[in-house]
Amino acid sequence: MPNELPRRLSRSIGDGRPPAPVRILHVGLGNFFRAHQAWYTDRVDDAGEWGIAAFAGRSHEDGRGEIVEAMSGQDCLYTLVTKYPDRLTADVISSVVAVHGAGEHDAWLRYFASPDLALVTLTVTEAAYLHTSTGTDLTNTAVQQDIRALRRDVRAPVGTVPARLVAGLAARRAAAAGPLAVVPCDNLPSNGRVAANVVTSVAEQVDGDLARWIEREVSWVTSMVDRITPRPTAADRAQVLHDTGVADPAVVVSEPFSEWTLQGRFPAGRPEWTRAGARVVDDVTPYEQRKLWLLNGAHSLLAYAGSILGLETVDQAAGDPLCRGWVEQWWDEAARGLTLPGGEITAYREALLRRWENPRMSHRLAQIAMDGSQKVPVRVSETLRRERTERRSGEGAARIVAAWVCHLRGLGAPVDDKGADRLVRTVRASSLEHAVATVLAYLEMDDPFVAVTVDRLAHDLSTRH
Ligand SMILES: NC(=O)c1ccc[n+]([C@@H]2O[C@H](COP(=O)([O-])OP(=O)(O)OC[C@H]3O[C@@H](n4cnc5c(N)ncnc54)[C@H](O)[C@@H]3O)[C@@H](O)[C@H]2O)c1
Ligand SMILES: O=P(O)(O)OC[C@@H](O)[C@@H](O)[C@H](O)[C@H](O)CO
């Protein structure tokens, strides 16, 4: 529409559907939520009954927030661009009906207190769960501050995700608004159990009765989510303007592929997500492991090793014969621990290569490299341990660890990992051998053979820089 003036999206002139009543609250108004959960909710037959109120993940970063302001200015609508290898499609998504900054705590409590609310979904990154193996990291100063605030007044504003959920659930209990389901959609194994543990452990510190109520009334759904959603660029927004005439500052871009597999109960109902392609299964673990190890594990390998080789995007790295060989070796090792039928795994590997080769995606390795201290342990450790227990070298898995060590020491993609400040200081102040030992201790891995292997592979990678 080159000759028309740019326009904004607006429900009043017929963009999208009329807003549906709020029955879902989402935390983490990032790109992935808008390409995935909001898209599924937009596609269901009963979309007119399921509106989403979405909150930004954190207040210091978002304030009321750029994305909140952008979506407020266009009736919470936005354009989802699907990037097929040979074409683009642009769809207006209408399932989000209210957007809020993370600090809008009164609105937060009001939604939780409403009996209409049936679901809480989350995409807040792995780091936001602030979890240990049993619950929330109670040594974290932000968590301690939130617990003190909630003890004084359970309606007081709080900042960490576990405490915000506790505050919301306390408001729900006070209003006798009934049970609901919480559906984490971050790349964490057993994300439902992790969310349950972090919320319950904070609630225990605030009010034991509230913790018991949460145990009874909240269903923690574990979900495997998959849809590659890179950060959109100015060029993506310009393309939408060119193709549709809409000036949309909230454009999201994504690949055509999408998967959502869920395990758990929905005591207050849910949209017909299964009609839109999602699956509800009795045991999500096999799907979770397949995705986390084959896709995310290989992503981390490409992010660290590929960027050391000077590559910048996933399609470049997946097309590089050396990286490709490393990925295949990692996949062979990871696949030995998967329980799904072999044919399904082979098909998944082939499909992954096709997804990564999509030249329009431009998924930056630096984005994937972020927060390795949260990602590498859950993506790689189990396979490395199993390979060694079964008396194999685990070289494919060890290479991911070696590449991460090199990354932490300053090679390849820049380090952007708030949870790794101490680790970075230590690995940079010591010899490579000592750095490897430090990282293996972080991964709770004390196998001398692994240390020698990682050291050798890290030396090799350093020379390729
Ligand atoms: N992008 C993808 O391809 C993809 C695919 C599958 C799963 N995911 C999951 O979704 C998460 C978000 O990805 P995205 O692409 O939307 O990223 P994004 O940067 O667009 O959004 C991240 C969101 O998380 C919030 N957040 C970040 N750190 C936080 C913290 N410490 N506390 C509270 N909130 C915090 C931010 O405010 C923001 O709303 C990923 O970390 C991953 O677990 C992403
Ligand atoms: O989103 P993260 O930061 O957990 O991990 C980066 C990528 O591995 C990830 O976003 C994948 O693209 C995604 O998991 C595909 O579904």
The residue whose CA is least distant from atom 8 of ligand 2 is 296
State yes or no: pLDDT of 94 exceeds 60: yes
Give residue 372 CA to ligand 2 midpoint distance, Å. Answer: 12
DSSP code string of 24-39: EEEE--SHHHHHTHHH
- Mind listing the pLDDT tens digit for each residue in 42-76? 999 999 999 999 999 987 554 568 899 999 999 99
pLDDT value of position 109: 98
Any ligand 2 atom below 6 A from CB of 314: no
Q: How far is the CA of 363 from the centre of ligand 2 (A)?
A: 10
Are 153 and 199 within one domain? yes
Query: For a pocket test of ligand 2, which of 83, 296, 300, 301 has the largest count of ligand atoms closer than 8 A to its C-beta?
Result: 296
One domain for residues 274 and 329? no
pLDDT at residue 4 greater than cutoff 80: no
What is residue 441's three-state secondary structure?
helix
Same domain, yes or no: 273 and 292: no
307 alpha carbon – ligand 1 mean position (Å): 22
Domain count, the chain: 2
Which of 243, 265, 283 marks a domain boundary?
283
Does residue 277 belong to any structural domain of this protein? yes
Q: What dihedral do alpha carbons 437, 443, 448, 454 form, nearest 10°?
A: -70
pLDDT score recorded for residue 65 = 82
Token duo for residue 53: 């109120």
| Residues 306, 353 within the same domain | yes
Q: Residue 37 in contact with residue 25, Cβ under 8 Å?
A: no
Smallest CA separation from ligand 2 atom 5, residue: 368
Q: What is the number of the ligand closest to the CA of 123?
A: 1
- Residue pLDDT, tens place only, 196-240: 999 999 999 999 999 999 999 999 999 999 999 999 999 999 999
What CATH number does residue 303 fall under? 1.10.1040.10
What is the structure's pLDDT at 62?
A: 47
Distance 8 CA to ligand 2 centre (A): 30
Give the closest ligand to the alpha carbon of residue 301: 2
Q: Tell which one of 32, 358, 368, 371 to mutate to probe ligand 2, the residue whose CB is within 8 A of the most ligand atoms.
A: 368
Q: What pLDDT was estimated at residue 271?
A: 98
What is the widest separation between alpha-carbon atoms in the chain?
A: 68
Give the pLDDT score at 105: 96
Shortest-distance Cα residue to atom 17 of ligand 1? 30
Segment among 17-26, 130-139, 196-205, 292-301 with least mean pLDDT = 130-139
Q: Whose CA is nearest to atom 22 of ligand 1?
A: 30
Exposed/middle/buried for residue 91 (C-beta within 10 Å: 0-12, 13-18, 19+):
middle
H or E segment and range at residue 244: helix 234-244
Supply the range of the domain harboring residue 72.
Answer: 11-283
423 domain residue, yes or no: yes
Are 129 and 232 found together in one domain?
A: yes
The mean pLDDT value of the chain amounts to 96
Q: What is the pLDDT of residue 3?
A: 58
Mean pLDDT score, 402-425:
96
Mean pLDDT of 101-107: 95
